[in-house]
Amino acid sequence: MKNEEQERSLFGISLSTRPKWQQFLICSSGFFFGYLVNGICEEYVYNRLKFSYGWYFTFVQGFVYLFLLYIQGFTPKQMVNPWKTYVKLSAVLMGSHGLTKGSLAYLNYPAQLMFKSTKVLPVMIMGAFIPGLRRKYPPHEYISAVLLVVGLILFTLADAQTSPNFSVIGVIMVSGALIMDSFLGNLQEAIFTMNPETTQTEMLFCSTVVGLPLLIPPMLVTGELFKAWVSCWEHPYVYGVLVFEAMATFIGQVSVLSLIALFGAATTAMITTARKAVTLLLSYLIFTKPLTEQHGTGLLLIAMGITLKLLPENKHTKRSSNSSASAKIAKPASGEEITLVENLGQDEEKRPLV
């Protein structure tokens, strides 16, 4: 694949020269670190401090991203794609972030987290329609995604019984975020596939620059811009939490883009689901919430879905590598046979007629 040949690195660590398992481990570690910190900070700000301003917080986060990219030395002169490439991507990116963060005003963090965990199914479905991808997945991968959805339903129903912060409005918002997520990962993968020279920093920079103005209309329509400004002005320490969260999320975002470039959107969605399960357990441990048997059943189904997704892929990979190795061995043998036949034919021609 072209994007496998492209030289890629993550915060100065070369990825292209390493085997696949090391690439996976490095990218996943950065992703897990960034988003585990993000999850803890989000729950602290939304559910403990009661600051539910998703659009505004996404707006602040964008400026932190741009500052970190500037420190890394990225400039628009390094771009290899035109700005118009990132218009659709920026719209769904900012919409997803804003709706995801805003939904925490109506859902408690574990319920929102489990909804977002099901995004692997819409990502897989949408991958079949995105130009430049047109991906098809085997039936067992759809079964694994269904197990995730069933696990979500069981967990959410249990969560609605044990936690008061559960609202239909929140479900609608997080469902909208899921729809945008189904486009997001596939659009990112399509850009990496069609132009392998695209870097993770370029994609994050351009989608942030194009996306920030798109956040202003919803902030003005909902009145969130002025409410959030006043609240954060009265409690300035919130900005400290937001900046710290954005810095951690920046590490997670660049790591996710590396995973998409190297392994694809659907595989990355499964990895993000595993992260959400870990974050979920940490949420219950840190914030001391009741965990019922129904919660455990939901988590078990999610684990089964992840296992079903990963195990057949490993077998398929081994089978493919064995087949390719056999092909490499067989090719010289067939070449030798052809040469032998040609030599025999030449000898026949050179032999004098009796």
Spatial distance between the Cα atoms of 164 and 176, rounded to a whole number of angstroms: 22
**pLDDT (0 to 100) of residue 340:** 37
DSSP 18: S
Residue 342 in any domain: the answer is no
Q: Which whole-number Å values give the CA distances from 144 to 12, 54, 109, 294, in the listed order?
A: 35, 31, 24, 19
Decide: 43 and 109 in contact? Cβ < 8 Å: yes
Decide: 246 and 42 in contact? Cβ < 8 Å: no
Q: Residue 317 CB: number of other CB atoms within 10 A?
A: 11
Residue 315 in any domain: the answer is no
Decide: 108 and 163 in contact? Cβ < 8 Å: yes
**pLDDT (0 to 100) of residue 68:** 92
Helix (H) or strand (E) holding 295, with range, is: helix 293-350
Spatial distance between the Cα atoms of 19 and 31, rounded to a whole number of angstroms: 19
Residue 106 in any domain: the answer is yes
Residue 42 in any domain: the answer is yes
Write the single-letter amino acid at 341. Answer: V
Residue 6: both structure tokens together: 């492209």
Residue 140: both structure tokens together: 């067992």
Decide: 211 and 93 in contact? Cβ < 8 Å: yes
Residue 330 in any domain: the answer is no
Spatial distance between the Cα atoms of 278 and 34, rounded to a whole number of angstroms: 13
Unique residue bearing structure tokens 């064995």: 322
CA end-to-end span of the chain: 58
**pLDDT (0 to 100) of residue 298:** 77
Spatial distance between the Cα atoms of 35 and 41, rounded to a whole number of angstroms: 10
Write the single-letter amino acid at 331. Answer: K
Residue 74 in any domain: the answer is yes
Chain centroid offset of residue 166 CA:
26
Spatial distance between the Cα atoms of 170 and 176, rounded to a whole number of angstroms: 10
User: Is 38 strand, coil or helix?
Assistant: helix
Spatial distance between the Cα atoms of 174 and 168, rounded to a whole number of angstroms: 10
- Side-chain half-sphere CA neighbours of 246 within 13 A: 22
Residue 339 in any domain: the answer is no
Decide: 187 and 194 in contact? Cβ < 8 Å: no
Domain extent for 173 = 17-309
Q: Spell out the per-residue pLDDT of the chain, length 354, in tens.
A: 444 456 787 887 888 788 888 888 888 888 888 888 887 787 777 666 667 777 888 888 889 999 999 988 888 888 888 888 888 888 888 888 778 877 877 777 667 766 776 777 777 777 666 665 666 777 777 787 778 777 766 766 665 555 545 678 888 888 888 888 888 888 888 888 888 888 888 988 998 898 889 888 888 888 888 888 888 888 888 888 888 988 988 998 888 888 888 877 777 777 777 676 666 666 666 666 677 777 778 778 877 876 776 664 544 444 444 444 444 444 444 444 444 334 434 444 444 443
Unique residue bearing structure tokens 């790591």: 255
Chain centroid offset of residue 156 CA:
22
- Cα pseudo-dihedral 272, 276, 278, 284, rounded to 10: 170
Total domains present in the chain: 1
Q: Which whole-number Å values give the CA distances from 50 to 105, 106, 144, 165, 241, in the listed order?
A: 8, 11, 36, 12, 13
User: Is 9 strand, coil or helix?
Assistant: strand
**pLDDT (0 to 100) of residue 353:** 41
**pLDDT (0 to 100) of residue 279:** 65
Residue 338 in any domain: the answer is no
**pLDDT (0 to 100) of residue 66:** 93
Spatial distance between the Cα atoms of 319 and 262, rounded to a whole number of angstroms: 20
